[in-house]
Structure 1
């Protein structure tokens, strides 16, 4: 398989964009999938909405993927649609995937949360904290699929906030990964080692596309998290976190990067090339920091004279679901609560007339009064 030859623009599912993604948006795409894709209703959500799975291939290596466990984390859903669109093509590389693996993808596990653009489900439960108690129908559906499909690999697909940077650098964590722990001591195990090697393979691809913009997510153990729970059952499980790319609040560039990571992961699995990558390759990925705000404003006393001349304003966007779309609403963060080293995805200086006009046009000035 030669990912370098892929023209992403040709497989990008352009009719599904933005942050708000529900089964309504997926309906036409899913219904148009050719017979080589098996679409099933695998259960219903709290509010009775069908949860679907899409199965492709007939090979012995079995990969289970699920997205939008958190309803407001849709970037990876768009990426798996691009993957499915790629798999519709007729060429040798794709035939190799079909004969080597069986993919089972749940594009939206939490359709009620997706419809309301909430992290939680309709019962206000975080499904990623329900792996042991299984109080929610969506959690039970995922467990049932896991037990019946018997995957060799699990891909747990999420979004992360714009606050994350790589290590202590000013590089945003555009994509982050985690090989979840399986015990409190965060020991290694055969399945966790495989997870680490597979992440290292995907990182090798992404470093060519976004150098130094891949982070490693915190591996604190929580048996109620699905990734940890599946790792406890000795199934290599990988957490994907789709993050921020410059000026990409709709996460369209990030979806492309997740697509390439997914394909590299599949390529590594079917080529039996895991041993080309090491645990140390994984551990060399810097851990995520939390040093980003969406907007950083210097010389803010030019906006509000009562502020000191060295006062910096830190602003983040709150995602507000309004009239069927996601609106990014600016909010000023607590001045006193910020650590010393903070980076801004947008850096503005009130000494600059262009920046001042931008602040006024985007109603930032009104936040100060």
Structure 2
């Protein structure tokens, strides 16, 4: 069976959807797994929540994955649950993976951040800037598990913002990858090259599913970033970044792309096919570019002057009653659009406040400043 033939809907865990994913969701998921899986409490977070790992497989090739070290980046966690469901399915390819690999996965590294829907942990620390300092209990857990497991490959799973596009194209970066640097010169050694070759294999496998939607993440070096540090330690490491796809603010479509990317990575590794991939193709992947805003309102009237303006909006994600609300915030008011937008509104709207300088409205909530008529936030979110 080829991984392209896998029906991703069949292995989608329906118990988790949307953007808010916590360890409560994981506990429900774990109850349904077979005894093939070993669930282990690796330690506790600042607020005393369990940080758990999942181990499965009996193969010689050891793969270490971790997700949601930034608590508000949950898409890859959903894809990991789908991957585990697939591995528990009895599928021929799944069984082959279990024989080839030993997988060790920490689905949520930052449970406090997941609960509060924040990038940082409960102490306000970005765990992805703590790889050397190890100032936080979650960072220490991640490092200890890595050291004890001694993986052959590491997958660092994240979400990226909707601002990223694919190079200079009017295409959202739905998936981005990186083989992190291990030094300031961004040198390429055997370790980094292996990760690059695997990314090439993933890209080749997914390009028909996601044409023009994949990019290469910036490779600036910071040893306190976990991926950079593990690469520095000699373990080939890949950063997976789940981004935006048209109309997919809940990131359920991108969840499927991440699932396919993980399956394709394992398929490449199982047969060592990636070894023959050409490194130069990695550098042909367009780089991420901060080229998008969420919404552009193309005709907003300033009624006192009679002038129409273009207004750019970016969503602020807010946790409310265990749901994520998307609040559109004004980021730019101009005569000429400077970025692409995931949604463009051509309907004539108008400002409902009067100020001497429109730039004073930057950072304000759009629905308090502009009369949207019958248009709602949900209309904007669903528009493609």
Please confirm whether the aligned pair reaches a TM-score higher than 0.5, indicating the same fold. Answer: yes
Aligned residue in 1 for 2:11: 11
* Local SS of the residue matching 1:334: strand
Distance in 2 between residues matched to 1:306 and 1:86, nearest whole Å = 60
Once the two structures are TM-superposed, the CA of residue 27 in structure 1 deviates from its matched residue by: 1.2
Is contact 2:179-2:219 (8 Å) kept?
yes
- Structure 1 residue runs of 5 or longer lacking an equivalent are 365-369
The aligned length equals 358
Distance in 1 between residues matched to 2:337 and 2:224, nearest whole Å = 34
Distance in 2 between residues matched to 1:307 and 1:255, nearest whole Å = 46
Once the two structures are TM-superposed, the CA of residue 324 in structure 1 deviates from its matched residue by: 1.5
Distance in 1 between residues matched to 2:89 and 2:112, nearest whole Å = 32
Distance in 2 between residues matched to 1:157 and 1:339, nearest whole Å = 36
Distance in 2 between residues matched to 1:223 and 1:346, nearest whole Å = 37
Q: TM-score, normalised by structure 1?
A: 0.93
Once the two structures are TM-superposed, the CA of residue 360 in structure 1 deviates from its matched residue by: 4.1
Is contact 2:3-2:267 (8 Å) kept?
no
Is contact 2:167-2:289 (8 Å) kept?
yes
Q: What is the correspondence of 1:216-365 to structure 2 with a 5 Å cutoff?
A: 216-301=216-301, 304-306=302-304, 309=307, 311-335=309-333, 341-351=338-348, 360-362=374-376
Distance in 1 between residues matched to 2:304 and 2:171, nearest whole Å = 33
Distance in 1 between residues matched to 2:306 and 2:263, nearest whole Å = 51
Q: TM-score, normalised by structure 2?
A: 0.90
Aligned residue in 2 for 1:367: none
Is contact 1:176-1:215 (8 Å) kept?
yes
Distance in 2 between residues matched to 1:188 and 1:125, nearest whole Å = 30
* Local SS of the residue matching 1:10: coil
Once the two structures are TM-superposed, the CA of residue 8 in structure 1 deviates from its matched residue by: 1.2
Moved more, 307-316 or 244-253: 307-316
* Local SS of the residue matching 1:275: helix
Distance in 1 between residues matched to 2:96 and 2:289, nearest whole Å = 39
Cα RMSD (Å): 1.9
Distance in 1 between residues matched to 2:198 and 2:58, nearest whole Å = 21
Instruction: Give the 3 Å change call, closer, same or farther, for CA 363–98 of structure 1 in structure 2.
Output: closer
Distance in 1 between residues matched to 2:287 and 2:373, nearest whole Å = 33
* Local SS of the residue matching 1:240: strand
Once the two structures are TM-superposed, the CA of residue 362 in structure 1 deviates from its matched residue by: 2.1
Aligned residue in 2 for 1:50: 50
Give CA deviations for 1:224-243 in whole Å, capped at 9, x if unaligned. Answer: 00000000001000001100
Aligned residue in 1 for 2:30: 30
Once the two structures are TM-superposed, the CA of residue 334 in structure 1 deviates from its matched residue by: 3.1
1:156 aligns with 2:156: yes
Point out the structure with the larger helix share.
1
Instruction: Give the 3 Å change call, closer, same or farther, for CA 202–363 of structure 1 in structure 2.
Output: closer
Is contact 1:300-1:307 (8 Å) kept?
no
Q: What is the correspondence of 1:188-227 to structure 2 with a 5 Å cutoff?
A: 188-227=188-227
Distance in 1 between residues matched to 2:71 and 2:261, nearest whole Å = 22
